[in-house]
């Protein structure tokens, strides 16, 4: 297959671009004689998600909830302990599916640290041309593509192509990283806290640029961020994670307008307000997240939830669909046994 040609849309618009089912990743920690009885950090626990073609899926949650681990699993920077992935109908890394190399040609990632993501010994032009060259594109075409991408991300090719990463500001380096992610003409771009290190004026420019690039190149985004306002601006759907699991998932209007899970409600309540009459007087969430090595039984949020009851400790709530979104909470599941749940 010619690497210069865009990948065809094989499954049609109704087929998800990326489908992940029951992904699990546990990281072992020290302890135990000869490795026996060794404990694990439950970074991601049996997580399933789908990403529709052309959408932006926002992923939010506190630090340590597993957002970045999910990103690395989706691009196979780390291998899952369990679970499957399908890219536009093709299984990933299976005997009759596509290879990880082909996955990474169609799925690219932009990281938070703009400087560590670039080779300090390569010029910006060389950096952008490297991936196309490695995938069989001619030197002339790779160079032309690099210069064109610099222009697309708002950097003058004549001024920036021969510069080195240390000669650029943080915002300019992140624009280069975004351009590099587009060099192979991917279909899906995963942005892991890609704007969190930028000041607000530069962040706004980069966000608007991402919107323009999405329309121009027909991209799909998975946008990971702790900034709820940025996620609201950019996303079509929002996935809320807590301690390695999805607790709520739905359209951005439903999640922000009517959050159903207590954790989602607490996250939104913690957003700063410019109105002094709406000043937060007490912390929306009490306490620290539990240890992911030994998470609570049942609902993992119950140790910090003001509505927790016995059923929350006894059984783990499943992610179930409601009228607008899916939520994993016993209060929202009829007949669950919670005092606030409706009768079955």
pLDDT digits (tens, 9 = 90+) for 295-340: 999 999 999 999 999 999 999 999 998 878 999 999 999 999 999 9
Using one digit for the tens of pLDDT, what is the confidence trace for 27-69?
998 765 565 667 899 999 999 999 999 999 999 998 889 999 9
| Span 277-305, pLDDT tens digits | 766 666 677 778 888 898 999 999 999 99
pTM of this structure: 0.91
Beta-sheet pairing, 326-327 with 245-251: antiparallel
- Give the Cα separation of 327 and 28 in Å (integer): 29
- What average pLDDT does range 144-154 have in this prediction? 95
pLDDT of residue 271: 81
Task: Determine contact, residues 235/56, Cβ cutoff 8 Å.
Answer: yes
Q: For residue range 85-107, what is the model confidence (pLDDT) as tens digits?
A: 999 999 998 777 899 989 999 99
Chain mean pLDDT for the chain:
90
Neighbours of 203 (CB within 10 A): 18
All domains in the chain, ordered by first residue: 13-121+175-275 (3.40.50.300), 122-163 (no CATH)
Two tokens, residue 208: 């608007």
Residue 92 and residue 107: Cα distance in Å, rounded?
12
CA distance 150 to 175: 8
Q: How far apart are CA 44 and CA 243, in angstroms?
A: 8
Contact 51, 34 (CB under 8 A): no
**Could you tell me the pLDDT band of residue 259, with boundaries at 50, 70 and 90?**
very high
């Amino acid at each position: 297959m010619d690497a210069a040609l865009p990948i065809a849309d094989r499954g049609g618009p109704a087929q998800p671009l990326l489908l992940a089912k029951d992904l699990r990743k546990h990281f072992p920690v020290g302890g135990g004689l000869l490795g026996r009885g060794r404990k694990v950090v439950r970074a991601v626990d049996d997580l399933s998600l789908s990403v529709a073609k052309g959408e932006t899926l926002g992923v939010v949650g506190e630090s340590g909830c597993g957002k970045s681990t999910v990103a690395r699993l989706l691009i196979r920077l780390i291998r899952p302990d369990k679970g499957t992935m399908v890219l536009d109908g093709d299984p990933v890394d299976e005997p009759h599916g596509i290879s990880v190399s082909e996955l990474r040609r169609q799925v690219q990632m932009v990281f938070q640290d703009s400087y560590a993501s670039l080779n300090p010994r390569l010029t910006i032009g060389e950096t952008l041309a490297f991936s196309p060259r490695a995938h069989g594109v001619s030197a002339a075409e790779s160079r032309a593509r690099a210069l064109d991408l610099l222009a697309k991300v708002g950097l003058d090719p004549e001024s920036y192509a021969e510069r080195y990463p240390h000669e650029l500001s943080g915002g300019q380096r992140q624009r280069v990283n975004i351009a590099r992610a587009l060099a192979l003409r991917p279909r899906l771009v995963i942005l892991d806290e890609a704007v969190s290190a930028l000041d607000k004026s530069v962040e706004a420019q980069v966000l608007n640029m991402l919107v323009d690039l999405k329309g121009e190149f027909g991209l799909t985004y998975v946008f990971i961020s702790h900034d709820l306002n940025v996620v609201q601006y950019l996303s079509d759907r929002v996935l809320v994670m807590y301690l390695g699991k999805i607790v709520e998932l739905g359209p951005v209007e439903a999640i922000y307008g009517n959050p159903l899970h207590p954790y989602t409600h607490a996250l939104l309540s913690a957003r700063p307000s410019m109105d002094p009459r709406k000043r937060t007087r007490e912390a929306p969430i009490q306490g620290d997240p539990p240890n992911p090595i030994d998470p609570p039984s049942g609902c993992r949020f119950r140790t910090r939830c003001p509505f927790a009851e016995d059923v929350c400790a006894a059984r783990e709530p499943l992610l179930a669909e409601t009228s607008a979104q899916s939520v994993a909470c016993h209060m929202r599941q009829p007949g669950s046994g919670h005092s606030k749940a409706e009768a079955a």
